[in-house]
């Protein structure tokens, strides 16, 4: 996600990118070898990150080492600013509000965002997660609330920022409530601008092929989709669910599919390459995105790029970009209402070829609207308004 922002912003700006040396440096170097022109306006500074303890307590030590890395990044930024004289600093990744970094301390305009992570797991969905995931997200909800209000560094960064960018409506609402600031609303993902895909059509006599893609984590909500299959089977609807991914809930979810007698309607692919996942999705008719608590995952963008209508909850980042032109949304009211709503949406697309064709065409139009080029135009305007400095690199060879 961050890299797409960088390569598109570099068309009009000179960028100094501070990134993790032992994680990204070699991949970035290989990219520039393949795209030498794009590296002309990007200077990448790799900063080592000492990682430890994550095998003992991953959540705590991940953020502990990441905070130490952010402090080192700030020291490097101070030294660079003395030599270069930056016009602004932008804290781009990671999008979670818990870690704003330290660039807000620089004596230049500071932009922070897209900022995510404020959305809570709805309490009424805890019962659908299983005891392990329910315990995890109960603790997360409590800690999340405490961190939103109690972190002095988050408050300081938010107050110092010239512009805050919220990733979702939930994040925008939280920033207004907690920090009394009015952020720009812009999700963290973008689509390819040069789509060469035709809208899909389908034969209503054929089984509806449904894609589901993600890690097997409680918040991803696959059980809601499996129960939707049960509703469809009860109504003699032909449907096949292609499930891409794996994770800690796999044994539990496979057992649930057996209990619901829908295993014969499922294909479990496990973890596959990104290219293979896109190939599977492109062969399907629709993406069923059952997540309950999330930002704006890339799989939703990739689905509409492929002309797939999306069925999802009306919440989080995906709920903000999917509308009646490209998908069907289900309200976040209860697990039972979600499963029934997903089933009804799937039946609509399975039995109404005209509606399906219109949504497929709308998905491709939505992808163009959400292109990285369009997003960067908005961000470039923010840069200009913040600094008054704008020098385009677009005419350079």
pLDDT of the residue at 204: 82
Same domain, 136 and 263: no
On the question of a cis peptide bond just before residue 191, with omega within 30 degrees of 0, the verdict is no
Would 196 be classed as within a structural domain?
no
Check residue 129 and give its pLDDT: 86
Same domain, yes or no: 359 and 382: no
At 390 the pLDDT is 53
Rg of the chain taking only CA atoms, in angstroms:
22
203 within some domain:
no
Residues 234 and 181 in one domain: no
Give how far Cα 3 sits from Cα of 28, 31, 44, 246, Å. Answer: 9, 11, 11, 26
- Read off the tokens for 40: 């002309």
Same domain, 22 and 156: yes
Residue 363 lies in a domain: yes
186, 192, 203: which is closest to 364 by C-alpha?
192
Phi-psi category of residue 106: left, alpha or beta, with phi > 0 → left and psi -120 to 50 → alpha: beta
- Asked whether the beta carbons of 183 and 113 are under 8 A apart, the reply is yes
CATH number for 276: 3.40.50.2000
336: in domain: yes
pLDDT at 391: 52
Identify the residue whose tokens are 């200009």.
Answer: 384
Same domain, 143 and 261: no
Residue 395 lies in a domain: no
Length of the chain: 397
Is the residue at 200 inside a domain?
no
Q: pLDDT 10s per residue in the chain (397 long)?
A: 588 888 889 888 899 999 888 766 777 878 888 888 777 888 889 898 887 777 776 777 788 888 999 999 999 999 999 999 999 999 998 888 989 999 999 999 999 999 999 988 999 999 888 888 899 899 999 999 998 999 899 999 999 999 999 999 999 999 999 999 999 999 888 888 777 888 998 888 899 999 999 999 999 999 999 999 999 999 999 999 999 999 999 999 999 999 999 999 999 999 999 999 999 999 999 999 999 988 888 899 999 999 999 999 998 888 889 999 999 999 999 999 999 999 999 999 999 999 999 999 999 999 999 999 999 999 989 998 998 765 555 444 3
Q: Show the domain range for 177.
A: 2-190+371-387
Residues 81 and 154 in one domain: yes
* 392 assigned to some structural domain: no
| Inside any domain, residue 294 | yes
| Res 392: pLDDT | 53
CB 73 within 8 A of CB 102: yes
Helix (H, G, I), strand (E, B) or coil at 114: strand
Contact at 8 Å (CB) between 46 and 24?
Answer: yes
Residues 19 and 124 in one domain: yes
The pTM of the full predicted model, rounded to 2 decimals, is 0.87
pLDDT in tens, 23-45: 667 778 788 888 887 778 888 89
Q: Do residues 110 and 248 both lie within one domain?
A: no
Residues 125 and 270 in one domain: no
Distance CA 394, CA 213 (A): 37
Question: What pLDDT is attached to residue 395?
Answer: 43
Q: What is the dihedral of CA 106, 376, 309, 248, to 10 degrees?
A: -30
For the chain, the domain total comes to: 2
Task: Give me the pLDDT at residue 39, please.
Answer: 77
**Cis (ω within 30 of 0) for the bond into 241?**
no
């Amino acid at each position: 996600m961050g890299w797409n922002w960088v390569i598109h912003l570099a068309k009009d700006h000179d960028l100094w990118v501070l990134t993790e040396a032992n994680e990204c440096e070699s991949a970035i170097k290989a990219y520039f070898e393949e795209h030498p022109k794009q590296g002309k306006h990007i200077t990448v500074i790799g900063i080592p990150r000492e990682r430890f303890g994550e095998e003992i307590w991953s959540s705590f030590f991940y953020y502990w080492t990441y905070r130490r890395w952010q402090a080192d990044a700030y020291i490097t930024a101070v030294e660079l600013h003395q030599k270069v004289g930056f016009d602004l600093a932008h804290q781009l990744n990671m999008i979670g509000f818990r870690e704003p970094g330290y660039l807000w301390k620089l004596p230049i305009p500071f932009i922070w965002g897209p900022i995510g992570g404020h959305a809570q797991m709805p309490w009424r969905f805890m019962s659908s997660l299983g005891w392990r995931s329910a315990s995890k997200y109960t603790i997360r909800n409590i800690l999340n609330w405490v961190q939103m209000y109690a972190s002095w560094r988050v408050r300081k960064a938010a107050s110092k920022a010239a512009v805050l960018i919220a990733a979702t409506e939930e994040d925008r609402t939280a920033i207004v409530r907690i920090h009394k600031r009015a952020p720009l609303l812009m999700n963290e993902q973008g689509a390819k601008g040069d789509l060469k895909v035709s809208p899909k059509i389908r034969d209503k006599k054929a089984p509806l092929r449904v894609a589901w893609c993600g890690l097997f984590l409680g918040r991803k909500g696959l059980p809601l989709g499996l129960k939707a299959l049960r509703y469809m089977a009860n109504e003699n609807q032909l449907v096949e669910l292609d499930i891409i991914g794996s994770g800690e809930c796999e044994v539990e979810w496979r057992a649930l599919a057996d209990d619901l007698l829908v295993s014969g309607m499922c294909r479990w692919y496990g973890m596959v390459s990104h290219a293979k996942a896109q190939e599977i999705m492109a062969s399907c008719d629709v993406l069923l995105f059952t997540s309950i608590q999330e930002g704006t995952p890339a799989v939703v963008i990739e689905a509409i790029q492929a002309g797939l209508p999306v069925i999802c909850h009306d919440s989080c980042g995906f709920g903000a970009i999917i509308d009646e032109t490209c998908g069907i949304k289900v309200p976040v009211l209860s697990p039972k209402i979600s499963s029934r709503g997903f089933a009804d949406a799937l039946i609509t697309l399975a039995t109404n070829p005209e509606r399906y064709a219109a949504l497929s065409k709308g998905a491709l139009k939505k992808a163009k609207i959400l292109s990285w080029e369009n997003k960067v135009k908005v961000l470039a305007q923010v840069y200009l308004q913040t600094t008054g400095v704008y020098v385009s690199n677009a005419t350079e060879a």
